[in-house]
């Protein structure tokens, strides 16, 4: 019997606290919506969807080349030459990956600075 009473009390407390949290969140929703809208406008102006898609395509292409270099060895080549060729291909693909990563990091830094400007303007 005591377990049933304790369960009922826990359920009532849970419902009341959940209701209080949802009321509090709904009161701040308008402010957050304005900030999200400003953020979405800025992000789409700074980094276009096409740039993001191109970056992902480049990364996928580089990774495919890296895997192909690891899997395929040139025909009629000694083991040492095959290993050296694979290492060179992997290094080349890694350099390309590093270039793409640097470009992404530069774009991210620009985006972060722009977001800080937006946030400081709204504060």
Structural domain that includes position 86: 47-122
Is position 60 within any domain? yes
Is position 41 within any domain? no
Cβ-Cβ contacts under 8 Å for 97 (sequence gap 6 or more):
59, 62, 63, 66
Is position 96 within any domain? yes
- Tens digits of residue pLDDT in 29-82: 667 777 777 777 776 666 777 777 888 888 888 888 888 877 775 566 676 777
Mean pLDDT of the chain: 76
* Number of domains present in the structure of the chain: 1
Q: Which residue in 121, 117, 120 sits closest to 46, CA to CA?
A: 117
Write b or e for each residue in 86-118: b if 16 or more Cβ atoms lie within 10 A of its Cβ, otherwise e: beebeeebeebbeebeeebeeeeeeeeeeeeee
Whether the predicted model's global pTM rises above the 0.95 cut? no
Judge whether residue 14 has pLDDT over 70. Answer: yes
Q: What pLDDT, on a 0 to 100 scale, did the predictor assign at position 94? A: 83
């Amino acid at each position: 019997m005591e377990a049933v009473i304790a369960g009922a009390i826990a359920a009532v407390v849970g419902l009341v606290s959940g209701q209080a949290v949802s009321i509090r969140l709904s009161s701040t929703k308008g402010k957050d919506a304005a900030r999200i809208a400003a953020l979405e406008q800025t992000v789409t102006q700074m980094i276009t969807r096409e740039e993001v898609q191109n970056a992902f395509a480049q990364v996928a292409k580089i990774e495919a080349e890296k895997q192909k270099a690891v899997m395929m060895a040139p025909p009629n080549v000694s083991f040492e030459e095959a290993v050296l060729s694979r290492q060179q291909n992997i290094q080349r693909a890694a350099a390309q990956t590093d270039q793409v990563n640097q470009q992404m990091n530069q774009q991210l830094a620009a985006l972060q600075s722009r977001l800080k400007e937006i946030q400081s303007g709204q504060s």
